[in-house]
Amino acid sequence: MKTIDELLAEGVEGKRVFVRADLNVPLADGTITDDGRIRAVLPTVTKLAEAGAKVIVASHLGRPKGAPDPQFSLLPAAERLGELLGKPVAFAQDTVGPAAHDAVDGLESGQVAVIENLRFNAGETSKDDTERGEFADKLAALADVYVGDGFGAVHRKHASVFDLPARLPHYAGYLIATEVGVLKKLTDDVKRPYVVALGGAKVSDKLDVIDQLLGKADRLLIGGGMAYTFLKARGHEVGISLLQEDQVPVVKKYMKRAEESGVELVLPVDVLVSTEFPDLKTKAPANPTTVAADAIPADQEGLDIGPETRKLYASKLADAGTVFWNGPMGVFEHPDYAEGTKAIARALLDSPAFTVVGGGDSAAAVRTLGFDENAFGHISTGGGASLEYLEGKTLPGLAALEN
């Protein structure tokens, strides 16, 4: 794929450059709680503006149902982008309508505009090629050049990700180029031992990547809500813990495959449990108890890995050459259940390995829990995209840039 450096070498002075970013940031009462994805696109936007481009930044946010919804407006993200750039950023209150055209027409060389949430138009996410294409045509009318830099969306066959690049000269921004380079290190050029730590709520979300990793990784460390399906598959009772009963037979097959292929699959040996889920808003003390992973009481729910598991997982990461971590080890949003996730983060910081934090909740946890994100080898901006890449799937947004 062509890169932004090639575009800059060709010259962008006065050109309208459409940057498909990922500004899908978490909001609480209209306030951004984690601006990592906005900061991730800064190098691309800054370079284009400095070179004299008229920069049009576009993104989705949340899951509006194809129509304007104030709670999903990109205005807070646009304002934060302006703060980080240190200069005003124009904001259009529609995607391809009069406001968008007025904002773009009003740009001078080196200026930046953000258009409203792309998913406010049903054509963005439509499964109908014609409807999606018609929206892409309208987006293309705003610009002369396309730069793809929203890695968190490249696994979606959406108009601004897949169809729009076919309508304009297209290039990969710095973020996408970096993300792809890092993921190739996890697939083509792996320094061993290769250790993967997987957490998060649902094991079904991770089955495809586990399927691929069983032939590539040396160790798999399992935590988070998905661990209880593995513990159930091993024959343990899990109380009222998060459990996908229908996935137990599949997990049993994967556990057998791991044993047969020499992949060390490591499960929690102890967990923190409680009779009720913690209050994440007030952060009221939860007072959990620690039990062995094979002794979870019938009326209790596992909510984090325990202290012995933290030590065990740290030891399994200590000699790694490469580490990929995707998914928290527990309900890290509550201080009583954050220690498991903290332990993985600390182990990665202590490890000499090339470490990749696979986006999503893992990246949010690193920042929320106060770790220096620059101390990790790489923090991905796309949890779902990075997983699908490792699964060996073709990502529509990358395919469009390579065409």
Would you call 384 a catalytic residue per the annotation?
Answer: yes
Strand partners, 31: 28
Would you call 360 a catalytic residue per the annotation?
Answer: yes
Per the structure block, which two tokens stand in for 84?
């980080």
Q: Which of 305, 69, 339 is nearest to 199 (CA)?
A: 305
Would you call 65 a catalytic residue per the annotation?
Answer: no
Q: CA–CA distance from 329 to each of 6, 200, 310, 311 (Å)? A: 41, 7, 10, 13
Q: Is 259 exposed, middle or buried (0-12, 13-18, 19+ CB in 10 A)?
A: exposed
Looking at this protein, which amino acid is placed at residue 240? I
Q: Where in 74-207 does DSSP place strands (E)?
A: 90-92, 112-115, 145-148, 170-172, 194-198
Residue among 39, 202, 257, 311 flagged as catalytic: 202
Would you call 382 a catalytic residue per the annotation?
Answer: no
Question: What is the Cα–Cα distance from 26 to 37, expressed in whole angstroms?
Answer: 10
Strand partners, 17: 55, 145
Phi, psi (deg, nearest 5) at residue 41: -90, -5
Residue among 239, 360, 382, 397 flagged as catalytic: 360
Residue among 15, 16, 20, 37 flagged as catalytic: 37
Catalytic residues: 37, 202, 360, 384
